[in-house]
Chains A and B, each alone.
Chain A
Amino acid sequence: MTQAVGPVEAAPRTRRSRAAVALPLVLFAALALLPLVTAALSAGYMLDLFVRVMIFAIAALSVDLLIGYAALVTFGQAAFVGLGAYAVGMLGAHEITDLTIALPVALLASGLFALVTGLVCLRTKGVYFIMITLAFGQMAFFTASSLAPYGGDDGLTVHERSTLFGVAVLDRPVVFYYVVLAALLAVYLTCRTLIASRFGRVLRGAKDNALRMTTLGFQVYRFQLVAYVIAGMIAGLAGVLLANATEFVSPAYMSWQRSGELIIMVLLGGLGTLHGAVLGAIAFLLLEEWLATLTEHWKMIFGPLLVLVVVFVRGGLIGIGTALAGAVSRRLRRG
């Protein structure tokens, strides 16, 4: 009896895991090959677009880590992106441009901010958590807006991109593209490893049933705090790259709308899959870019599209893919 039941129950697991391996491979391969395509089409502009896409994908990964694996719906993640960006901008204003300083400072700043705010935020649950993360995001936003020596609300120009040991490595678009891609890949693999690790298993368990994990002896709060700090640092890294990509830093990077967009990206792609976050960022930003070329009123198309995705499919784009694959394989099996 159990013999017969086993394989049937196991089937979705293997299919999922096959997609979980293949999809990111294809995604990253496509991203790695993109500069060849753009060079062939002499569409260097697309590199810039995809740099932006990948940077948001990094930030979206940090959001997926929290929402998708730790059930912490954060509505203030843009603040960490902003912190990373401001680290580059403010150091740049004092003519410190080297990544060996800027990156650690950015990661430390965003990590520290996450630690302090996380201590407070994680006391609350559910919607209250959403709102308290929003509150801290807004405080960061208003603080940045009042930083008169660093441009205040106007933001400040990053006069030169970050250097590495004094070498201006990021100045060439293709090099910068691959640096961002490498960062995305590194963050993706880090998240993947983290989630599979003992630590990640505790997070996932707490998402599933926090009370059970507590009575097993886990102090869930601490694990969540560590995750919150890690996610904050990842977002900070995205900020460092964003400041370099736009060569500009602005409080707008910290606005709550930005935090909202990051959540939407993750949900659009498919929550709790990691590559869904990457896919979501790509889809969101490309769709935005493409629709905007069609009509000035593109949001009248984009909005209903989001509604349709939610009402008719679950699990975002990844969900559509899985549903399609399921339908096809059922059809094949029957036919």
Chain B
Amino acid sequence: MAEPVLALEGLRKQFGGLVVTDQVTLSVAPGELHAVIGPNGAGKTTLINQISGVLPSDSGRILFAGHDITRLPPHERARRGLARTFQITSVLPAFSALENVAVAVQAHAGSSYRFVGDAAAEPALNGPALAALEEVGLAERADVPAGHLSHGEKRALELAMALVTEPKLLLLDEPMAGTGREETARLIAVLRRLKGRFAMMLVEHDMTAVFALADHISVLIYGRILLSGKPDEVREDPQVVAAYLGDEIEFER
């Protein structure tokens, strides 16, 4: 088996007296889409924040492509190929969609201390950016300020921004939250197209999306991994069904 892109070892985060994540151990293989599911307050977003470095971890280790990144600042992690989207969409609202992606290209290109030259007119930045917009189906909205995009479009834009950084791993924090049925279907299609190019960790409530996309699923409850396995195993695990999935979940195949 190939070396995992991401390996978490006993990760823990505590806010005051409240333990939010505890002894989280899991690994993501290259090219794999690993979904993390769990009820509200299970610590999913905290986990994403710990991995991306927005929150420091109290204990445990984060190995990324074999290197310990537990103590690295977020921008350092990003530079090593760890990209993320946010639960609440996070784009640059005053910038056009194209410029949003172009900034991401620029981040990846790593030469941002250039004080001359019109960045907005650089083919080296705009070319890949436009291509990424194409991939997520936003090419026609390239000139629209990101603040004016619909919710689903912002999600797609975030994806495009992550794409151009050619990440080794993409952390997706509830990309389907707040999107309409139609947009959800479109996003699922986009993600399916991207699958295999890099590893993804998907935190999601929408079980349709999770079971449509995931190669591997971990169930997080009260900050701990309850179970980790293939979608079929998870679906059929009585413990999960009882504790979390219940009867309400409809499965589509």
Contact = CB atoms under 8 A, between A and B. Distances in A.
A-B interaction: yes
Contacts, number: 101
A214 B74 contact: yes
Given A204-B94, A209-B91, A223-B112, A197 B119 contact: yes
A274 to B, nearest CB: 15
Nearest to A220: B75
Contacts of A208: 92-95
B41 to A, nearest CB: 22
Contact of B113 (A204, A209, A216, A226): A226
Contacts of A216: 75, 78, 103-104, 107, 161, 165
B118 A217 contact: no
Contacts of A226: 113
Contacts of A200: 115, 119
Contact of A215 (B84, B122, B140, B144): B84
A213 B74 CA distance: 10
A21 interface: no
A220 B118 CA distance: 20
- Interface size, B (range): 35 or more
B54 A215 contact: yes
A210 to B, nearest CB: 10
B95 A215 contact: no
A196 B119 contact: yes
B52 A199 contact: no
Instruction: Bin the interface of chain A by size.
Output: 20 to 34
Contacts of A198: 106, 111-114, 117, 119, 122, 125
A217 B95 CA distance: 18
B144 to A, nearest CB: 6
A193 B91 contact: no
B74 A215 contact: yes
B40 interface: no
A214 B119 contact: no
A116 B15 CA distance: 34
A217 B143 contact: no
Contact of A217 (B78, B91, B94, B117): B78
Given A199-B113, A202-B112, A211-B54, A217 B107 contact: yes
B144 A197 contact: no
A209 B147 CA distance: 12
Nearest to B84: A215
B22 interface: no
Contacts of B74: 214-215
A194 B95 CA distance: 17
B79 interface: yes
Contacts of B205: none
Interface string B170-205: 000000000000000000000000000000000000
A260 interface: no
A149 interface: no
Interface in A178-205: 193-194, 196-202, 204-205
Given A198-B106, A216-B103, A216-B161, A9 B144 contact: yes
A231 to B, nearest CB: 13
Contacts of B102: 201
Nearest to B110: A217
A47 to B, nearest CB: 33
A212 B115 contact: no
Contacts of A205: 92, 95, 103
B105 to A, nearest CB: 10
21 contacts: A2-B140, A2-B141, A193-B115, A194-B115, A199-B113, A200-B119, A201-B99, A201-B103, A201-B112, A204-B94, A204-B95, A205-B92, A208-B92, A208-B94, A209-B91, A209-B93, A215-B52, A215-B78, A216-B78, A218-B112, A226-B113
> Can you list the 8 inter-chain pairs with the closest CB atoms, starting with the nearest?
A217-B78, A208-B92, A216-B107, A198-B114, A217-B107, A198-B119, A2-B140, A217-B79
